[in-house]
Structure 1
Amino acid sequence: MPRVDDNPADLTTYAICSHGSNIYTVDAINSRTSCVLVTDSFISDMGDLDSIQRRRKSTAPLHVRYIPDGAIVVPGISDSHAHIMHYGLYRQIPLEMGRNISEMVSFVENYIISNSDIYSNVSKVIEGWGWDHTAWPESRFPTAADLDASAVIRGRSVMLRSKDGHGTWVSGRVLQDTRPLLRTVEGGVIVRDKKGQPIGKNFRWFLLDVTLTAHLIGVFLDNAQDLLPVPVPTEEDYEQRFSTTVRNAFANGLTSIHDAKLDFPQLDFFKRKAAAGKLPIRLYGMTNYDEGEKYWGNITKPQMLSDDHRFSARSVKIVGDGSMRTGGAALYEPYTDNPNTNGFMRVSEATINRVIPLFLRDGWQVNVHAIGDRANGIVLGALESAFEDVDVVTMRPRLEHAQIMTKADIKRAGKIGVIASVQPTHVIDDMWYAEERIGPLRIKGLYAFRSLLNSGARITLGSDFPVETMNPLAGFYAAITRVSLDGRSPHGPGGWFPEQRLTRLEALRGMTIDPAYASFTESVLGSLEPGKRADFVVLSQNIMTVPVTEIMNTKFLATVIDGIAVHGKI
């Protein structure tokens, strides 16, 4: 007889069951089942409990755990685009809660005062993440003067990354230590303002003056951030940031993360963890390549999937352009609210055309950050040419963000067979200002998820944390509703361009089996099938059927990796 056990997760063999077919397998036919048998970290069988019991060869009692009524089981959830170390750093000073500049400054003050080791050491660099000047009533960039007005901060080195990661706000001490500065920066901007006044519609744009006599306000955008004296993290820093991220990831149902921009020290850190068998979560890494770097794809080899299926780093990340929020996304035509700029490429078109074929030749998946329509067009053109000699199915190239695209390029993405790695929570964040920024025509190609799918492109979902919340249900909700959490949108409660919504099943696949395909792990991860790893999540209610207004009330009852609960219990 089966034995109902309260704590099966410490066993090598047990069954997780539901009263009814409330286990979503996300297999090829999207089947549902009532029980899954876990044996030695893998799924060994599935079906109804009696059938599983009859097929078992062992005579030992089978330990069974039933999920609560109303709950469901889904495959382990993966975030296809995130920043692990930045999230851990960001948690030190969570600036996204600030409603204006003065609150931002007070957060930094409180952090300094509440940490005695930092308060007593004025040479310690203070870092944070999350400010968004477009959301403040001041509607302007913050300045070094704003920070230096605080007696607690004045004289200290403070470096605060913007919410989208494309800008850094620094204190006067950092400006002093950074001089002398170049007049211009390829693919970036040192924000200067002669008169100290913002210009442009809604005061979101500063005069980007390149003369050295102009006033440095203390904001560096995109590649200009490379001029700043970024402190080198220690091994202890990496451990602390990683553990913070993993702890929060487990609490949010994540069993796998695609890190979207690893530098070589971070890559080495994760390699050491993987070699020692100490990676608690599955990790897929994208190693960053910047403009001006010597080509390294034939020297550093792609890191293929480890035997425990917890680590691989076989992709290169190229940051093609900036962000729409800061005006760095590369457009074919000028911004609607600032006709003086088209944005810019952070990595030049010539470099993209040169290195993409080389990385593909040397076995790397190529993942390119492309937000503006021009950036997406350049990348698709380079891929189209490169794949005359390379099998696209084998290499699985990805457009990271794929935000603003022309109709022609949406079709081209499908024809080439690229993966669009998109972040649905960006939709409900950006919808309030996007049309003002890029106009009524280009807006129709912004976050066009349905059009991409219809073109034949594949989609995989992520959050871009810490830019947006880590909770994958927020992305699920945004993808299927395209309204804010309180049910609003610029187009009303029916959703912002509702024709671009995903179905619930498409969204579920977008955070389970599709990320597995996008990271070459679909043979062992992404769905609940015999022979695959026993990674799954128990949700408190059925997100596939509850009213959309209830989705964000769903709790993560358990997160399970290799059959072991890393959060909650089963």
Structure 2
Amino acid sequence: MQDSKGGAQPVPVPKARQSSRLRWLLASIVAGFIFSRVWLQIQTRDDYTLCSRTTSIYTVDETQPRVQCISVRDGRISAVGDEAGISRNWLLNLLDYPFGANRWRHIQQEHVIVPGLADAHAHLLQQGYKMQLQLDSAKSVQEVIERIKAYIIAHPDVHADRDRWIEGMGWDQTKWPGAEFPTAADLSSDPLLRGRPILLLRVDVHASWVSERVLEILGPLPSEVEGGSIIRDASGEPTGIFVDNAMTLIPTPPWTPEQYNDFFHTAVAEALKFGLTSVHDAATDPDAVQFFKTQAESGKLPIRLYLMVVPFSENFTDWHPSKIERLENYGLHERLNLRAVKLFTDGALGSWGAALITPYSDKPDTRGIMRSSPETMDQLIRSAWQAKLQVNVHCIGDRANEVVLDVFEKVLAEETRNGKLDISSFRPRIEHAQILQPSDLQRIGKLGVIASVQPTHGTSDMWYAETRLGPDRIKGAYAYRTLLEASPQKVLPLGSDFPVEGVNPLLGFYAAVSRLSVDGRSPHGDGGWFPSERLTRAQALKGMTLDAAYASFTEAELGSLTVGKRADFVVLDRDIMEVEASEILKTKVVATVIDGKVAYGHL
């Protein structure tokens, strides 16, 4: 058409066509919006499949012990198997990875994957505390003094304030010439130290070494301390060493909020660096519980914690287990749990505090220290049991283990008579289970009590343990293979007791499978100390994964790379299940993954 001036006239568009175009335009906008949202979600989600070139993923799942790939969706294991099998699930791939989005990753040829490693007995905040002034490699009193001097010089605020407490940890007199306890006078031998309040914890945290200034602050001391000992010289004067319950006499300054934060972040960084995804905190006081709750609530707990609460009264009169607040998958990321108590029966072998049935072979005037009497242990265990809390008891010596097993046996017998026994709902634990009579090595299994052990204690103590215990009693000590075989559930959770030992869980793995020191030695040669008590590598890996999960009631969620469980795993730079034992301690963590997200390293 043309208008009157000869110009072209616009052709009218039918209304139906205009409506169709509008609908198409609106649909395109909506589709584009949806596409962009989906694409953004794809690019930011943490779903992926991780594969090895061979079957280098150790699942600790007896139905599929080794696999090639694991898939992660929403922080959990969604598939386990070989690459071809997972790839064939085209519907899963189409829904999860449309438009060819690449979420397949491969680890390097020599790398392996294992479930997230757990430490079934450790002290997280105390690890950070120890790292401020470490003394565990000091080979003499003089070397300790030199380290304290270096610490003072490196901290001008400490140097300027002679009333500021100096605290450290890790000394071990068994490694020094003469193997004798040090004294407060030793800490006054240098002018830079003289007159300062100094508190140094022994490596096992069962003895304190203090300066003369601290003794002045303490003033008159009691002649005896129930469940503890004040070491005195020939004239009856205190030497500066306080053992077990006597340590509570020392007026140690409480930690500040800044110290809590520093100790926490320092320790967590160490744990993640070495592949730990879970820690059983084996003596958590109420202040520490509150600190951990705050971290969990604000999403600042990058590691899983299973807390064992300690009695917070010396005479236990105001300790009411029924009032303890339970925490189950607590916090923003559901990583905090509390359903256990920790009790102490005796001291440690290195400070002659482990309670023995007969006197020490190298110190016949003592049988060690019972920090809690049999009657008190009976009362404490029963009260926690009635509150339906897991009861975990520190027992080193054969006397301590006998006393606690007697209590457990009586309680379990009463439960049986009442027709309500379910040992799996309580899962009582003996922490350390270090020295037991042959009969008790079997009794702990028959009762279903879990032995929670630390393999590096054996390799640390092996140089003096037989001197302390004698040739017969030593045969029932550090008997890890025997304890595992006696367990009806075939469970032996492994830990380190850090900061008493190193944080790296592979130190414990190596000690468990070799029974050797880190330089390949033992009192029995390069075959290992009492080699019949070695664990296999499969048993050791299970001990620090699935067994630790069972000991904390989390085996349905953690401990193996099984479909439906949380995606906690570790990538290692070599195959700890097959390399020579001497190569195990050279292993480096490539990545520590919690809830499917990298917490340390990279994938």
Q: TM-score range by the shorter chain?
A: over 0.9
Instruction: Determine the structure 2 residue equivalent to 1:293.
Output: 316
Query: Equivalents in 1 of 2:597, 2:536: separation in Å?
Result: 31
Cα gap change, 1:302 to 1:385, in 2 (>3 Å):
farther
Distance in 2 separating the partners of 1:319 and 1:152? 37
Question: Equivalent residue for 2:27?
Answer: none
The aligned runs of 1:114-513 (5 Å cut-off) are 114-194=154-234, 214-289=236-311, 292-294=315-317, 295-306=319-330, 308-388=333-413, 389=415, 390-456=421-487, 458-513=491-546
Describe how 1:46-85 pairs up with structure 2 within 5 A. 46-55=80-89, 56=92, 57-60=95-98, 61-85=101-125
Rounded to whole Å, the distance in 2 between the matches of 1:445 and 1:29 is 34
Q: Give structure 1 stretches of 5+ with no counterpart.
A: 1-7, 195-212
Number of residue pairs matched by the alignment: 545
Q: Aligned residue for 2:145? A: 105
Amino acid in the other structure paired with 1:77: L
- Deviation at 1:122? 1.6
1:523 aligns with 556
- Largest Rg, 1 or 2: 2
2:209 partner amino acid: W
Which of 539-548 and 134-143 deviates more?
134-143
What letter corresponds to residue 464 of structure 2 in structure 1? Y
Q: TM-score, normalised by structure 2?
A: 0.88
- SS state at 1:140 partner: coil
**Which residue type is aligned with residue 468 of structure 1?**
E
Give the superposition deviation at 1:29. Answer: 3.3
Greater fraction of residues in helix: 2
Percent of pairs identical after alignment?
48
**Aligned mates of 1:297, 1:10 — CA distance in 2:** 45
| Paired residues of 2:97 and 2:103 also in contact (CA < 8 A) | no
Select between 275-284 and 498-507 the one with higher mean Cα deviation: 275-284
Paired letter, 2:112: I
Matching residue of 1:201: none
TM-superposed CA distance for 1:363, in Å, is 1.4
CA distance in 2, matches of 1:539, 1:436: 38
Hey, what's the Cα distance between the residues in 1 that align with 2:43 and 2:560? 19
Residue of structure 2 in register with 1:545 after alignment: 578
Summarize the Cα distance change of 1:296–1:523 in structure 2 as closer, same or farther, 3 Å threshold: same
Letter matched to residue 297 of structure 1: P
Question: 1:214 Cα shift?
Answer: 1.4
- Residues 137-172 of structure 1, C-alpha deviations (whole Å, 9 max, x = no match): 142111111111111111111101000110111111
The DSSP-based 3-state class of the residue aligned with 1:97 is coil
Question: Which whole-Å CA distance do the structure 2 matches of 1:279 and 1:448 have between them?
Answer: 35
Decide whether the 8 Å contact of 2:46 with 2:597 is kept in 1.
no
CA distance in 2: counterparts of 1:466 and 1:485, whole angstroms? 17
Give the unaligned 5+ runs of structure 2. 1-41, 416-420
Q: Distance in 2 between matches of 1:10 and 1:128?
A: 45
1:15 and 2:49 are equivalent in the alignment: yes
Q: Give the residue type in structure 1 aligned to 2:245.
A: N
Checking the alignment, whether the CA contact within 8 Å between 1:9 and 1:563 is kept in structure 2 is: no
Select the residue among 26, 40, 55 that pairs with 2:74.
40
Post-superposition shift, 1:301?
3.0
CA drift of 1:291 comes to 5.1
1:562 aligned residue: 595
Opposite residue 468 of structure 2, the aligned amino acid is R
Shift of 1:493: 1.3
Q: 2:450, 2:487 within 8 Å by CA — same for their partners in 1?
A: no
Distance 1:188 1:528, change over 3 A: same
* In 2, Cα distance between equivalents of 1:227 and 1:318: 19
Alpha-carbon contact 1:22-1:72 (below 8 Å) kept: yes
Say if 1:10 and 1:22 are closer, same or farther in 2 by CA, change over 3 A: farther
- For residues 211-264 of structure 1, the C-alpha deviation after alignment (integer angstroms, 9 at most, x for no partner) is xx6121111000000000011111111110000000011111111111111111
Cα pair 1:73 1:538 within 8 Å, conserved: yes
How far apart in 1 are the matches of 2:206 and 2:45? 46
SS in structure 1 at match of 2:261: helix
Shift, 1:10, TM fit: 6.4
Q: Deviations over 1:8-64 (max 9, x none)?
A: 996421111100111111113351111111112111112122322333143422412
Contact 1:13–1:62 (Cα < 8 Å) also in 2: no
Query: What's the C-alpha RMSD, in Å, of the aligned pairs?
Result: 1.5
CA deviations on 1:275-310 (whole Å, 9 max, x unpaired) are 222211100111112651123101223323327341
